[in-house]
Amino acid sequence: MKKTGAQIVIECLKREGVETIFTYPGGAILPIVDELMDSPFQQIMVRHEQAAVHSADGYARASGKVGVVLVTSGPGATNTVTGIVTAFMDSIPLVILTGQVPTLLIGNDAFQEADIVGITRPCTKHNYLVKDVKDLARIIKEAFYIAKTGRPGPVLVDLPKDVLINSTDFKYPDKVFIRGYNPTYEGHPGQIQRAIKLILKSKRPILYVGGGIISSNASKELLHFAERLGIPVTMTLMGLGGFPGNHPLSLGMLGMHGTYWANMAVMESDLLIAIGARFDDRVTGKIEAFAPQAKIIHIDIDPTSISKNVRVDLPIVGDCKRILTKMLSLLEDEDLNSFKEGLNKWYHQIEKFKTGHNMKYEQKDKIKPQYVVEKIYELTKGEAIISTEVGQNQMWTAQYYIFHKPRTLLTSGGLGTMGYGFPAAIGAQVAFPNKLVIDIAGDGSFQMNSQEIATAVHYNLPVKVAILNNNYLGMVRQWQEFFYQKRYACVCLKGASPDFVKLAEAYGAVGLRATKPEEVVPILEKAFSINKPVIMDFEVDPDENVYPMVPAGEPLNQMRLV
Amino acid sequence: MRHVITLLVENEFGVLARIAGLFSGRGFNIESLCVAESLDPTVSTMTIVTRGDDQIIEQVLKQLNKLIPVIKVVDLIEKDYVEREMVLIKVSATPQTREEILRIVDIFRGKVIDVGAKTYTIEITGDEKKINAILTLLKPLGIKEMVRTGQVAMIRGSKVITESS
């Protein structure tokens, strides 16, 4: 049967099991927008295309499904770029459909024309310009396949208007065949054997796990593996929730703002088992001084991640879940008693690192931002979906909210995108309408996408935003305090931000404010009981800093503790 | 260290941009790049000459492999291979130098493919060493212009680089 390009797009999305589309309309994409009228998809119309991508990203991170974005050509497409790079850096599966001017006008500087395929080439896993309606179904099939297989990532498909209008016989391909794309899933058996041997020989092993654990849904296997061997686990920001933070083997987050004991344990370990992590500079500190005594096993699905930043002794390319499963089966017949007994000294050493170095803050008359995060954790019992913006709010969340489960922390780890958290929370709320979704925000970051209050109100998505309002771009201010002689250029927002309570009300949301410590819990309780979007403004101590801190480029054991 | 890398890529628009962008975006250098259709018209063969230490080359190879339209990546440095480049050289030709130029061209088994009132245009094919050698000899005589194709390369013997090899 003949279908137009626009109808083919709709049909393909149905076949891919898409339920929700985050969109903003425009001229070039109108043929598809028109078809949406009669389609079964839930359509979330955002207020800015950047937010469409962040929302789809939040939806994807929380649910594990592919997030779908539909925007128009030119500015509609270019507005998605920050969202795309955010997803690319954190390996989030998205399909972004952009309108394009008709093929005959491409290259003519037509109205609302932008070379979005050229612009996004380095920041997508792959992208396509569809030139013929006959290729459309195959390309969309490939786009979804590429986005969700291997190391996931965003794929953009650029759709010229005439391709959407032209008709052809529709046939959805059953299979994908891309000869240049064959991700490795099964780890090399010999390497896995060698890894087990190396592990059983170690005296001070540590598991260093990242977002790969979450994207490959390997949390259960990781838990079994860590427990079977009794190896302590430290997580990257992206890995939080991949291993229960309240587990006795959890050392919390490592890196620039990681726990003292996690960083010290890495520096003292004799075997670092990296799984689905990529040795980012915020994790390693001074790279030459990172884990100096340790042999390194690196398990990752992306071969380019291996030996990119550090020399690895034993690489295993493949899917974390399958490799952990394989390792567990090989360990089944091993007698681990003497190995586990040998770890007691290591546990004692780690206990010593913990003594006197727990995360702390002192609450007096001003609300401490850490206190707000801690109370959010206590009240939600760690069961909420939490998103963050970027900066101090993000780090305090990582430190004071204990993540028990995967896919409960949505945060821009790689790119560090301010303005990510609120639209991501909206996306997560769309995926889980009955769950409590909270964006822990800063007063600066929140304003980068605060227009999305309108989207939350429009679709009655009861997202909660907790603004840790210190009237500063706090993390930048912290760096200026430490490294730029307290010359606070361009960071003070005092008297220059809107009244967030009134702002919420202007959009038809609920606004609440706490100025004293004793108001924090009642305000949170009230907000969580309201089935509407709520913006909470917590006036917090403006001078509070994030500790511990490893200054950029220093070794991990050079931490500022106060 | 100098590496010669052969790529099999999908013969479609945008592939060259992806590869060039990969090199520039990650700070790898390209010394030369040659691309044209292969025996299979859906596949292009690309020869890239690059330099870098082992870690950089390892990244170059892995990153190239990661590109979806790249079908195969072979670093020829690990193999026994031949390489050739063609160069067109426009050299000043005066009554005093004509004889010598012709002699050099003859020794290097080159060809004079165009003659002007004051110039010869020479075609020469060879590996990097040979090209450099003739350039050194012609330089004192006055090279006015030079255009190089970049290297193409192939494994010696009966072994071939195919999709599945």
Q: Which residues in chain A come in under a pLDDT of 70?
A: none
Is A161 catalytic? The answer is yes
- Top residue of B18, B40, B66, B74 to mutate, by most chain A CBs within 10 Å, is B66
In this complex, the residue of B17, B70, B71 whose CB is nearest that of residue A121 is B17
Taking alpha carbons only, the member of B110, B89, B85, B87 closest to residue B34 is B85
B142 touches chain A (CB under 8 A): no
pLDDT digits (tens, 9 = 90+) for A427-449: 999 999 999 999 999 999 999 99
**Are residues A307 and A394 located together in one domain of the fold?**
no
Q: Does A182 touch chain B (CB under 8 A)?
A: no
Query: For residue B165, is pLDDT > 80?
Result: no
Within this chain, do residues A218 and A323 fall inside the same structural domain, yes or no?
yes
pLDDT of the residue at B134: 96
Closest chain A CA to residue B23:
A122
Of the listed A43, A112, A349, A558, which one is catalytic? A112
Residue A56 located in a structural domain = yes
On whether both A328 and A419 belong to a single domain, the answer is no
Average pLDDT, whole number, for chain A?
Answer: 97
- CB-based burial, A495-531: b 16+ in 10 Å, e otherwise: eebeebbebbeebebbbbbbeebeebbebbeebbeee
Contact between A180 and B63 using a beta-carbon 8 Å cutoff: no
Asked whether the beta carbons of residue A121 and residue B65 sit closer than 8 angstroms, the reply is no
Is residue A452 flagged as an active site residue? no
CB contact under 8 A, A303 and B9: no
C-beta atoms of B59 and A180 within 8 A:
no
- Please check whether residues A282 and A389 belong to one and the same domain: no
Calpha distance A163→A98 (Å, rounded): 12
* Closest residue on chain A to B24 (Cα): A122
- CA-nearest of A348, A49, A322, A23 to A185 is A322
The alpha carbon of residue B84 is apart from the nearest alpha carbon of chain A, in Å, by 27
Single residue among A312, A331, A354 that ends a domain in this structure = A354
Same domain, A384 and A321: no
The predicted complex's ipTM stands at 0.91
Return the closest-CA partner of residue A553 out of A255, A292, A272. Answer: A255
- Is B82-152 in the same CATH topology as B2-78? yes
Closest Cα partner for A262 from A288, A297, A232, A293?
A232
- Give the B window 8-47 contacts with A, CB below 8 Å: 9-10, 14, 17-18, 21-22, 25
Residues of A in contact with B70 (CB under 8 A): 180
How far from each other are the two terminal CA atoms of chain A, in whole angstroms? 70
> Same domain, yes or no, for A159 and A49?
yes
- One of 3.40.50.300, 3.30.70.1150, 3.40.920.10, 3.40.50.970 is the CATH number of B82-152, namely 3.30.70.1150
Cα gap B157→A547, rounded to integer Å: 63
Give B2-78's CATH code, choosing from 3.30.70.260, 3.40.630.10, 3.20.20.70, 3.40.50.360: 3.30.70.260
**What is the domain-level CATH number for residue A349?**
3.40.50.1220
Q: Closest by alpha carbon to A48, among A423, A410, A464? A: A423
For tokens 């491409």, what's the residue? A106
The answer to whether residue A364 is domain-embedded is: no
Of A109, A136, A169, the domain-final residue: A169
Is the domain of A346 the same as that of A374?
A: no
Q: Which of A11, A16, A35, A49 is catalytic?
A: A49
State the number of CA atoms in the 13 A half-sphere of A378 facing the CB: 11
Are residue A262 and residue A309 in the same domain, yes or no? yes
The residue count of chain A comes to 562
Query: Is residue A556 assigned to a domain?
Result: no
Q: Which residues of A touch B53 (CB under 8 A)?
A: none
- Are residues A198 and A264 both part of a single domain? yes
**Digit-coded pLDDT (tens) for B82-95:** 999 999 999 999 99
Q: Residues B31-49: pLDDT tens digits?
A: 999 999 999 999 999 999 9
Whether A460 maps to a domain, the answer reads: yes
pLDDT in tens, A191-221: 999 999 999 999 999 999 999 999 999 999 9
- A332 in active site: no
What CATH number does the domain containing A444 carry? 3.40.50.970
pLDDT tens column, A496-553: 999 999 999 999 999 999 999 999 999 999 999 999 999 999 999 999 999 999 999 9
The answer on A157 and A227 residing in a single domain is: no
Of B25, B62, B71, the CB nearest to A180: B71
Q: Which residue segment(s) compose the domain that A35 sits in? A: 2-169
Q: Which pLDDT belongs to residue A555? A: 95
Query: Where are the domains positioned within chain B?
Result: 2-78, 82-152
With contacts defined as CB-CB under 8 Å, which chain A residues touch B64?
A: none
- Looking at the complex, report in whole angstroms how far the Cα of residue A115 sits from the nearest Cα belonging to chain B: 12
Q: Does residue A305 share a domain with residue A205?
A: yes
Number of structural domains in chain A = 3
The answer to whether A173 and A137 are in contact (CB under 8 A) is yes
Residue A284 shares a structural domain with residue A414: no
Contact yes or no for A94/A87 (Cβ under 8 A): yes
